[in-house]
Structure 1
Amino acid sequence: MLRFENVRMRYEPYPLAVIRPAMEASQYAELVANFPDIALFEPLGKYPFKLSLSEKFARRNYERFLRENAAWGRVHAWVKSEAFIRSIVEFLRANHVDLPLDQAFEDWPTRLKRQGKSLLRGRLPQPAMRLRSRFEFSVLKADGGEVAPHTDAERKVITIVMSMIGPDDWREEIGGGLDVNRAIDPRYAYNWKNRVIPWESIEVLETVPFVPNQCMVFVKTFNSLHSVQRMTETGSDLLRKTITIVIERDE
């Protein structure tokens, strides 16, 4: 489903790929037209401007929607497949981002051989690395929506954010772009455990604008700080619609 032909890579301070266009136009238009109704979503905790429809938030609505909507049901099946995870890892590797994830794709003979070598050396074999993927429908309101600077949860390996708006659904001047951040306070320079960083303690290195048919792929690191600055369209009913796909360690 994703197209990897038109890619712009950024490598510092952490790997980030921007793909545009990310999907074939008619497929993208079908998904935008079938984006779930906002009434199905739930707010994320104490943030009324951020809504989610996922395995964690409004799960019954999420599962029912995927059963009833064929286009998004296909996306769900694709994201959940090993082929999808492998394609993202291989895409990054082809773009000089070589992650140590080979164990996750071992066949059984290779795995048994590796574990046998550990036993011969007098060591208990380590459990094989496993990866899983999931996705959520995400919405930020143009009236007050923001995402504070953070590096992502520890178990995440790769995050994929795909815009889900039509050509006339958004104006770039509203904002909503993804900021690539760097800590200017050295106390926050190493942030593996995903502390939320105060806005005044970061600088913005680049803002990737929020535009249709765009996909961003970035790697979780100790300094993968990113954010969305607060949007201030007071009284607006415009929505920053995305899907967020996460590839994480299955621990």
Structure 2
Amino acid sequence: MLNFKNIKFDYDPYPIGIARGAIAPDFYEELIDSYPADDIFVSKDYHGVKLSLSQVNNRAGYYAHLSKSAAWKRFYDYIKSEGFIAETMAMLKSHNIDLGLANSSAKERLIKRFKAFRKGSPQPHFPTLRSRFEFSSMPITGGSIRPHTDAPSKVVTMVIPLLREGEWNDEYGGGTSVVWPKDRTRSFNFTNGYMDFDEVECLRTYPFEPNQCMVFVKTYNSWHAVWPMTGNDPSILRRTLTINIESE
């Protein structure tokens, strides 16, 4: 369901790519038409100005929406599949981003354990990867996400805007910015401490555009943010889907 054939990566200071036309147009319209209602989102203002709906934030409302939306249930099943994780890891590796992580099949695990047993070696450890997605909304009247690097459990993050062509005014802002601490001693941030906007400088910003998928890898220095937006109509929201692949 996600097409990464035309993805292009920047590698400095960490890998981040943009795939345009990421979802088939008809299905993308279905997802937009059935985006969750605003009143079931949960406020997450302590990291900026953001509303969230996920497995963690209003879990009941999240699954209720999936149960009544065939399009979103299809997408959920796809994101939760082992195939999605395997495809993502293979795509990254093809762009010289080898994380050394992949869910092994039951057969592969059995073979490796048997070989270790025959050699008298310790049994191998198989890291488990899981995937999930979150609906996010931010008002253009100051909506933002403070500079951070993501939680250590996150391996890969994808952000997909949910909007139609011509619906967004670039003057609002809303792009995802790669940022860097002004105090270089704080560059290492594997544990995901947050900073304020005046403590970082913006290296570049990826505009908020329809049907694109931004993909980036969690590193010790994967600093990013969404600068406070500057519109004056609180009814206009920056709607996105955030997909995470995480390690247990």
TM-score above 0.5: yes
Whether the aligned pair in 2 keeps the contact of 1:153 and 1:193 (CA below 8 Å) is yes
Match of 2:37 in 1: 37
Match of 1:135 in 2: 133
Match of 1:245 in 2: 243
Cα-to-partner distance string for 1:207-231 (whole Å, 9 max, x where unaligned): 0000111110100000000000001
Match of 1:17 in 2: 17
User: Could you say what secondary structure the match of 1:19 adopts?
Assistant: strand
Distance in 1, matches of 2:209 and 2:38, equals 20
Distance in 2, matches of 1:192 and 1:48, equals 20
Cα-to-partner distance string for 1:185-244 (whole Å, 9 max, x where unaligned): 122111100011232332211100001111101000000000000012234311000000
**Root-mean-square deviation (Å):** 1.8
Cα-to-partner distance string for 1:71-92 (whole Å, 9 max, x where unaligned): 0010000000000111111111
Match of 2:109 in 1: 111
- Aligned residue pairs total 248
Displacement of 1:25 = 1.3
- The more displaced of 176-185 and 213-222 is 176-185
TM-score normalised by the chain length of structure 2: 0.93
Distance in 1, matches of 2:84 and 2:106, equals 20
Whether the aligned pair in 2 keeps the contact of 1:170 and 1:238 (CA below 8 Å) is no
Alpha-carbon distance change, 120 to 181 in structure 1, aligned in 2, over 3 angstroms: farther
Task: Output the amino acid matched with 1:82.
Answer: E
- The more displaced of 130-139 and 86-95 is 86-95
Displacement of 1:45 = 5.4
Gap regions ≥5 residues in structure 1: none
Partner residue of 2:217 out of 219, 235, 241:
219
Gap regions ≥5 residues in structure 2: none
Match of 1:168 in 2: 166
Match of 2:144 in 1: 146
User: Could you say what secondary structure the match of 1:200 adopts?
Assistant: helix
Cα-to-partner distance string for 1:99-128 (whole Å, 9 max, x where unaligned): 1114x2x23343234345555676542431
Distance in 2, matches of 1:47 and 1:226, equals 13
TM-score normalised by the chain length of structure 1: 0.92
Displacement of 1:148 = 0.6
Alpha-carbon distance change, 45 to 210 in structure 1, aligned in 2, over 3 angstroms: closer
